[in-house]
Amino acid sequence: MISLRNLEKFYQQGPDRFYVLRRINLDIKPGEFVAVMGPSGAGKSTLLHVLGMHDTAWTGEYLFLDHPIHKMDRKQRLEVYKRHFGFVFQSYHLLDDLTVAENLDVPLSYRDIKKSERQAIVADVLDRFQIVGKKDLFPSQLSGGQQQLVGVARAIIANPKVILADEPTGNLHSSQGIEIMEMFKKLNEAGATIIMVTHSEVNASYAHRIVRIVDGWIEQQ
């Protein structure tokens, strides 16, 4: 599903290059649950944003479902991302001035879906995540766990094939973290490919395999 070949990312600092990712070769199959681990500053989140096409300044090859992402322009990449990817953040990043239901509607509003259809999808997801009662609340009125639950619901609402998660339980206490990881497990069992950056060995144990990154290099798969 995902294939990276000799992918590199660096920052130019005067005459020198500071590499964040070095010669990354990585293959991820459909339905896999992959944990990316490594020390702080190793390049884990950078790799995740490259996979999510938020970061476009890199070299090498990136194939997604055999489509050469590295040859696509910004618009084409955005289309691929909108059709196939969802993103979960450590700090939830819900939009403060929107209600839970409106936050869930945001990804759909960028996908040319009719309003009535969007309302039905939002209602369905609220129901699936058992947060119907909170649909009119604002993020500030939710606990951290509830916010992340909404964050996960928002990531999957457009029915993505791949969910990218950047330390999804990093700001939660353990019981809330378990709840979120169980949710990821269910989503993975339902067919979603999940790539998760984490520092937690417990969370990593939910994954099928662990990719470790140190100083921008993949150390061990």
Partner 1 sequence: MAGLREDVRGAFRRLAANPGSSAAAVLALAVGIGFSTSIYSVADALLFRPLPVPEIERVILIAGREEGAARGHRTIAATDYTDWKSSARSIETLAVSHGFSATLTGVGDPVQIQGAWVTASFFDVMRLQPLMGRVFTSEEETPGRNHSIVLSQILWERQFGSDPNIIGRTIEISGRKVTVCGVMPKGFTFPQPGMFWVPLALDDKAWADSGSFYLRAVGRLKPGATLDEARAEFRALAARIAKQRPDTHTRLSAHVDALREQISGDLTASFTRMTICFVLFLLFIACLNVANLQLAKVLARTREMAVRLAMGASRARLLRQTLAESVLTALIGAACGLLIAVWSLDLIKSNMPPEVERWLPGWSSMGLNGWVLFWTACTAVAAGLVSGIGPALWLSRTPVAANLHESGRSATGSAGRQRLRTILVVTETALALVLLVGASLTVKGFRAIGQLPVSIDPARVLTFRVDLPLTHYTSKSMIVQFQRDLIERLRATPGVVSVGLLSSLPYGSSGNNYSLVTIEGRPAERGPQNITQVQVTGGDLFRTIGVPLVSGSMFTGAEGADTQSVAMVNQTFVRKYFDGQDPVGRRFHLGDGKWKTITGVTGDIVQDFTERSVGPVIYQPYQQSTQGAFDVAIYTAVEPLSLVAAIRQAVYSIDPQQPLSLIRSFRKLIDHSILGIAHAASMFAVVGLVALFLAVLGVYSLMAWSVTERTREIGVRLALGATREEIRWMVLRRGGTIAALSLGLGILGSFGIARLMQGLLFGVSATDPVTFMVMPAVLVCVLTAACLLPAQRATRTDPIAALRHE
Smallest distance from partner 1 to CB 90, Å: 5
Within 10 A of 175 (CB to CB), how many other CB atoms are there? 8
For partner 1, the closer of residues 115 and 208 by Cβ is 115
Q: Are the C-beta atoms of residues 53 and 85 closer than 8 Å to each other?
A: yes
106 binding partner 1? (CB under 8 A)? yes
Q: Are the C-beta atoms of residues 170 and 147 closer than 8 Å to each other?
A: no
Q: Which window, 95-103, 120-128, 139-147, 205-213, contacts partner 1 (CB under 8 A)?
A: 95-103
Q: Which of 27, 97, 127, 136 binds partner 1 (CB under 8 A)?
A: 97
Residues 6+ apart with CB under 8 A from 82: 110, 111, 158
129 binding partner 1? (CB under 8 A)? no
Can you give the length of the chain in residues?
A: 221
Total residues binding partner 1 (CB under 8 A) = 32
First to last CA, the chain: 17
Smallest distance from partner 1 to CB 78, Å: 6
What residues numbered 61-80 form the site for partner 1, per CB under 8 A? Answer: 75, 78
Lookup: tokens for 33? 């649950």
Return d(Cα 51, Cα 142) in angstroms, integer: 30
C-alpha gyration radius of the chain? 18
128 binding partner 1? (CB under 8 A)? no
89 binding partner 1? (CB under 8 A)? yes
For partner 1, the closer of residues 83 and 209 by Cβ is 83
91 binding partner 1? (CB under 8 A)? yes
What residues numbered 150-209 form the site for partner 1, per CB under 8 A? Answer: 154, 158, 166-167, 170
Return d(Cα 184, Cα 81) in angstroms, integer: 20
Q: Which of 29, 115, 173, 208 binds partner 1 (CB under 8 A)?
A: 115
Q: Which of 87, 129, 184, 206 binds partner 1 (CB under 8 A)?
A: 87
Q: Are the C-beta atoms of residues 187 and 196 closer than 8 Å to each other?
A: no
Smallest distance from partner 1 to CB 88, Å: 10
DSSP 138-206: -GGGS-HHHHHHHHHHHHHTT--SEEEEESTTTTS-HHHHHHHHHHHHHHHHTT-EEEEE-S-HHHHTT
60 binding partner 1? (CB under 8 A)? no
Residues within the interface to partner 1 (CB under 8 A): 45-46, 49, 52, 54-55, 75, 78, 81-82, 87, 89-91, 93-98, 106-107, 109-111, 114-115, 154, 158, 166-167, 170
